[in-house]
Amino acid sequence: MAGALLEGVDIKPFIDDFKANEYGRVCDKGMKLYYGGYMEENFVSLVGVSCAKVDRINLLGMLQRSLVSTKESRENASYFTTLLLQKRLIYQFMTDDLPLDNLRLPNSSHLLSQVFEQLSLGSYKVLSASPKLVELDGRGHRIILSLSDDVPAKVQIDEYTQSGELKRHWYQ
């Protein structure tokens, strides 16, 4: 019966919210539908891209499994999987001193991808070893990586715009 209710899902409001940069709303409401069994691949891709834009990277692991039928779906699945791997490797770099030198993964415009690329190229400066504090050049703005005091710790990525504004991202 739930499947029958889901067949008539109107995704236009999701597309409108996406176009209005309401990515958190698309991610939240889209995941509810996904958990309810709605797995149309264009919709799942829209939800996944939205979740990536609001740093809800862990959800991508679940979504990527449903993206198999078309070339575009498989590309989105690879993008989601790459972000998950980059997030995990950055976490290990910060918590376990895992060397990322010369490790190459596909690159995208997502912050995790930009950070991972610089770490793998050795294009960073360690400001402090304990607690670990790393500085990167974020293509014209400053990026600082640190670990939170939480247990387990979160990787914090602070982006400073050219005007000095801070945008904090955190990943675990």
Please check whether residue 160 is in contact with residue 168, taking contact to mean a CB–CB distance below 8 angstroms.
no
Q: What is the pLDDT of residue 57?
A: 97
Q: What is the pLDDT of residue 130?
A: 84
To which H or E segment does residue 168 belong?
strand 166-171
Q: What is the pLDDT of residue 34?
A: 96
Residue 51 and residue 15: Cα distance in Å, rounded? Answer: 14
Beta-strand (E) ranges in 19-149?
125-129, 132-137, 142-147
Q: What is the pLDDT of residue 122?
A: 93
Dihedral over Cα of 60, 115, 99, 107: its sign:
positive
Residue 64 and residue 112: Cα distance in Å, rounded? Answer: 17
Q: Going residue by residue through the chain, which has 172 residues, state the pLDDT in tens, using 9 for 90 and above.
A: 334 345 678 889 999 999 999 999 999 999 999 999 999 999 999 999 999 999 999 999 999 999 999 999 999 999 999 999 999 999 999 999 999 998 999 999 999 999 999 999 999 999 998 889 999 986 778 899 999 988 999 999 999 887 778 899 999 8
Q: What is the pLDDT of residue 127?
A: 94
Q: Please name the residue that has the structure tokens 């402090």.
A: 128
Q: What is the pLDDT of residue 7?
A: 64
Cβ burial 27-38 (10 Å sphere, 16+ → b, else e) = bebbbebbeeeb
Residue 153 and residue 69: Cα distance in Å, rounded? Answer: 37
Task: Give the global pTM.
Answer: 0.90
Q: What is the pLDDT of residue 6?
A: 56
Q: What is the pLDDT of residue 107?
A: 94
